Amino acid sequence: MGNMGNKTEINAKGKKETEALLKVEDLSLSFIQYASGLRQTELKVICNLSIEAYRGEILAVVGSSGSGKSLLAHAILGILPSNAKLDVKMEYNGKKLTQEIKEEIRGKEIALIPQATTYLDPLMRISNQVIGCVEEKNEGLMKKVQREVFQRYDLKPDVDRMFPHELSGGMTRRVLVSTAVMSSAKLIIADEPTPGLDEKTLNETLSYFKDMANKGCAVILITHDIEAALKISDKIAIFYAGTVLEVANVEDFKNNGENLRHPYTRALWNALPQNNFQAIKGHQPMQDEVIDGCIFYERCSKKNELCSKGIPQFKSINGGVVRCNNVS
Amino acid sequence: MLDNEKIAGFIGKKILRLISLLVIVCFVSFMLIQYSPIDPVRAYIGEMPVSAEHKAKLEEYWGVNTPPQEKFLNWAGDALKGNFGISLIYRIPVTDVIKERFTASLALMAASWLFSGILGFILGIVAGMKKGTWIDKAIKTYCYVLAATPTFWLALILLMVFSVYLGWFPIGLSVPIGVTAENVTFLDWFLRLILPALTLSLLGVAQIALFTREKLIEVLSSDYVLFAKARGEKGLDLVLRHGIRNVALPAITLQFLGFSELFGGTVLVEQVFSYPGIGQAAVAAGLRSDVPLLLGIVIVSACFVFFGNAIADLIYQFVDPRIKQQEASI
């Protein structure tokens, strides 16, 4: 697998570095549910979401818990449940990313770092899980690689033979990160990797992602922790009620957040404890609410008549993109 | 070693429990029989006409007029020494009857237990993997039909189809009639074991298959299977690596917990096939008021079911790494 990884690296270097490794355009995701009797309803979870991930960069997707961010990761990997309806244009490395290709490259080119211990098989020893499903002749080699990776993350040899419930929170995180490192993937999607970690472990975990980006990987960091995201990310996508309202550069959050484009992003900045610690009124619309105009309309301070009619289109401003009618 | 100590403690606790269980079971069964309209003298002499004087002698011999508590203590004292008395029907010691009958039943129960376990597990895995397809529906329907089928009815159907119409198997008993014990071949015995074992297995399949299916579906929708998929594992490999691993332990446990149903089923099946096992002996002892044999069988069957449950507990506590760990940390 190591050889294969090198080859793709060379290919990737041949291409323009400016081209996105992963392009997600207008992703809409809904679930078919049975309401009463045989009547089906469609629950829209994500709509018109667009993001791009570049090599060597960390893109943070920041949004509140339970707003469907994890489903974005699952959609990219093609592991959604069977009642999900996905509509999207996705490109990976310049090629259309279909379900077949997802199945082919996941675990090899794209790796997921899940959020919790529940993502490890409770009855399988750690080293077997991290190595994964490999051919018998490669097992010895993979075992060596796994040991080296564990060494790097300060996981002692006795961890190899442990079961998931025997790991501490920090160890679990390092084991989960190891699975991605083992795969030599080019695109890493980390789903909520930070909750429940103390300051030291948190910084350590974040540094692993920085390392991966420095080695040329594209990292998508899905989190609700905007402070953690600000520490290491290059770009921040603001996820609100199933869509992305703004993709800002991390510098935009400096200087009193003056360069932030969307009113919601500003409100978010204002709500941080180290800034004004002021929250705005209202809450995110529920998934079954039908909204015609801008999804932030109800809570927006700058709304006008245009905002209630049709979803604002993405505009490129100052090296970032935003969905707002009132920004220029 | 900590583990050895723990196992010793576990076995010690289980033995204490078994003893208290046996004391209660013996006492209750003894009292039930005591107050049932069973006359041991009548059971012994059958339809033979006897004089009143002779009858009084027999009554004294059988202790009809001894108070029940004393009777119980006498019986229990003998039982502790390993003497369960003489069977009234067979006129040999109860222990000998049980030994012979239980061995015959054990072959029957072991065969159907293994077969139903393996077949049920495989069917459950297939149904769980193919959830919602016609294979799944077929297996589910089969299981529901079986779960609703009375044992003796299925036994009769099999007997009619395979023994009477098709003539593939002998009709009953465990050895051919009119052949001396030395001349009975293994095949003779084996052919007579197949239908009863099949009846018991077919019924046992339903429970284990439905359970395995449910459990596999639960495992396949778990986070760790989702993660395994995200890492490129798929199809049968995925089910073998994560599914079987997580389903096997609870399924085996359930199969051990099923010892009581297995025993109950054996009683009925042996009756239909006239298979001379412990179940048939139990029915005979009950119908013909053979009190010593009945009590002996009650004790053996209680031990048998207890043994199954103890193994199920053992598996949970000493094989599952999660429970092992919890115990250690308490």
Cβ distance of A114 and B228 shorter than 8 Å: no
Residues A59 and A129 placed together within one structural domain of the fold = yes
| Rounded Cα distance, B146 and B195, in Å | 16
Task: Read off the tokens for A172.
Answer: 């679990």
Same domain, A24 and A167: yes
**Does residue A277 fall inside a structural domain?**
yes
Give yes or no: residues A126 and A161 share one domain: yes
Query: What is the average pLDDT score of chain A?
Result: 84
Are A23 and A87 members of one domain?
A: yes
CB contact under 8 A, B322 and A112: no
Residues A321 and A230 in one domain: no
Query: Do A138 and A274 reside in the same domain of the chain?
Result: no
Say whether B246 and A122 touch across the interface (CB within 8 A): yes
> Among the three residues A193, A213, A240, which one is the final residue of a domain in this structure?
A240
CB proximity A183 to B under 8 Å: yes
Q: Which residues contact B136 (CB under 8 A, 6 or more apart)?
A: B126, B127, B128, B130, B213
Residue A245 lies in a domain: no
pLDDT the model gives residue B218: 92
Check pLDDT > 50 for residue A12: no
Cβ neighbours of residue A68 closer than 8 Å, sequence gap 6 or more: A29, A45, A46, A242, A287
Measured CA to CA, the distance from residue B207 to residue B202 in angstroms comes to: 10
> Chain B contact for A165, CB < 8 A?
yes
Q: Is residue A211 part of a domain?
A: yes
Q: Are residues A17 and A130 in the same domain?
A: yes
Number of domains chain A is built from: 2
CB atoms B224 and A112 under 8 Å: no
Mark whether A81 and A15 lie in a shared domain.
yes
Spell out the residues 6+ positions from residue B176 whose beta carbon is closer than 8 angstroms to its own: B170, B184, B188
Contact residues on chain B for A116, CB-CB shorter than 8 A:
223
B63 φψ region: left (φ > 0), alpha (ψ -120 to 50), beta (else)? left
Residues of B in contact with A181 (CB under 8 A): none
Q: Could you report the per-residue pLDDT of B15-40, keeping only the tens digit for each? A: 999 999 988 998 898 888 878 776 76
Strands across the sheet containing A218-223: A110-113, A187-191, A218-223, A58-62, A235-240, A243-249, A320-323, A314-317
Give burial (CB, 10 Å; 0-12/13-18/19+) of B48. Answer: exposed
Which H helix or E strand runs over A42? strand A40-53
- Say whether both A135 and A267 belong to one domain: no
Tell me which of A240, A263, A286 is where a domain ends. Answer: A240
In a domain, A247, yes or no: no
- For residue A228, is it within any domain? yes
Domain range for A293:
253-328
| A215, A240, A265 - which closes a domain | A240
| Domain membership flag for residue A207 | yes
pLDDT in tens, B142-192: 999 988 888 888 888 888 888 878 878 777 666 666 666 666 667 777 777
ipTM of the complex: 0.83
Cα end-to-end span (Å), chain B: 17
Domains in chain B with CATH codes = 37-83 (no CATH), 94-329 (1.10.3720.10)
Residue B192 near residue B172, CB atoms below 8 Å: yes
Same domain, yes or no: A57 and A195: yes
Confidence (pLDDT) at B1: 47
> How far does the CA of residue B143 sit from the closest CA of chain A (Å)?
26
- In a domain, residue A246? The reply is no
Over residues A198-245, the pLDDT tens digits come to 888 888 888 889 988 999 999 999 998 888 888 899 999 999 888 888
Say whether both A278 and A324 belong to one domain.
yes
User: Cβ separation of B223 and A79 shorter than 8 Å?
Assistant: no
The CATH number linked to A103 is 3.40.50.300
- For residue B231, give the chain A residue with the closest CA: A107
- Convert the pLDDT of each residue in B3-19 to its tens digit: 677 788 888 888 999 99
In a domain? residue A248: no
- Name the helix (H) or strand (E) containing A31: strand A22-34
Instruction: Note whether A234 and A266 are same-domain residues.
Output: no
Q: For residue range A68-80, what is the model confidence (pLDDT) as tens digits?
A: 888 999 999 998 8
What is the structure's pLDDT at B261? 87
Q: Which residue has the higher pLDDT, A55 or A284?
A: A55
